[in-house]
Amino acid sequence: EVIYRRTGIQFLPINTLYQLAAQQERQPDLLAAAYRLLLVPDLFHSWLCGEMVSEYTNATTTQLWDATIHGWAVDMLATLQLPSALLPPVVDAGTRLGTLLPELARELGPVEVVAPATHDTGSAVAAVPVGTSDGWGYISSGTWSLVGQELGHPLLTDAALASNFTNEGGIFGTIRFLKNVMGLWLVQSCLREWQQQQQQYANTLDYVRLLQLAGQAPAFTAVIDPDDPRFLAPDNMLSAINAYLVEHRQPLLHQPGMIVRCILESLVLRYQTVFEECARLTSIGIHGIHVLGGGARNALMNQWLADAMGVPVLAGPVEATALGNALMQLVALGELSTLADVRALARQQPTKEFFPRADERARWQEHLARFLAL
């Protein structure tokens, strides 16, 4: 509770805080010999121009950053007996760091090195093509799904902690209030297994074909909880899904279309529960949803999401992370100045809108109750 009220970051095994604690426990001499702690994007910046700094959007995700004082949680680290001298100065997204080191500049020229929003979700959300400050939610949709809202300040309440929501730093002082949810990893894993293990699918089944088959399959044959731990890294995803169905007294699924439809419908129901939970915590209603990244191409799921939520879904940009990176480079170079400037340019990118079908909402609500009972 103390850590959350300071950092606002959900508790995940991958957090830098735990990596440091493990390093201190197992190899304290190695940690003591270190000069600076650089996250991977910061390391690349250092190799390019020599600057050892940490970019804000990524630094906040480490669980070492104090959201209440906007600085490293030095006293908390001292309590945990972790060294804070390793932590570098922090810069905002859109900061010019310098030019390429001489040995690189000789070949490439005096290229400017800029810190964008180095957290991939930070860059993706930077590119949300939105014109209003609130009332919208987003999904950064790919292998994983980052589901949430953009806030002007961190939400560090007991309810947010109990719901395991995270407060990640965004561009221009915004907060990405979100939850990590399973994404299209489930479909990707099943596709790989079909292609590798079943000869009849080796050359005939791809992602596009799977979505076609899912669209033709009967609706709501079965539902799963996509966030069940068994789906993180199973030896066989297809077996894991059917084992789950057996445990929850649902029919086994064997045809690719039926399995993928089950996955996509279950993801939509999970997204719906997270959005509704998010809106309760923030007291900000969601009147539209932006789907960013690879999932923006999934027209089937985006239409279902609009139907389930009863709000429009705007899909795109597909390459939101790359676009957000480029937009913050323009900020660093002085071509853009404000969050409004960034979003105005983002709105010029191609998107596709999906409108809710009123006659579908009741069916999704019926199966939401079934999903919540799992």
Nearest to 288 by CA among 207, 368, 353, 242: 353
Q: Which of 66, 120, 225, 307 is catalytic?
A: 120
Q: HSE on the CB side for 305, CA within 13 Å?
A: 34
**134 given a catalytic annotation:** no
- 10 Å CB burial of residue 23 (0-12, 13-18, 19+) is middle
3-state secondary structure of 354: strand
Cα end-to-end span (Å), the chain:
28
Q: What angle do CA 49, 51, 55 make, to 5 degrees?
A: 110
Cβ-contact 118, 57 below 8 angstroms: yes
**Cα atoms in the 13 Å half-sphere on the side-chain side of 310:** 10
Q: Using an 8 Å Cβ cutoff, are 285 and 278 in contact?
A: no
Contact status, residue 187 vs residue 263, Cβ threshold 8 Å: yes
Catalytic residues: 120
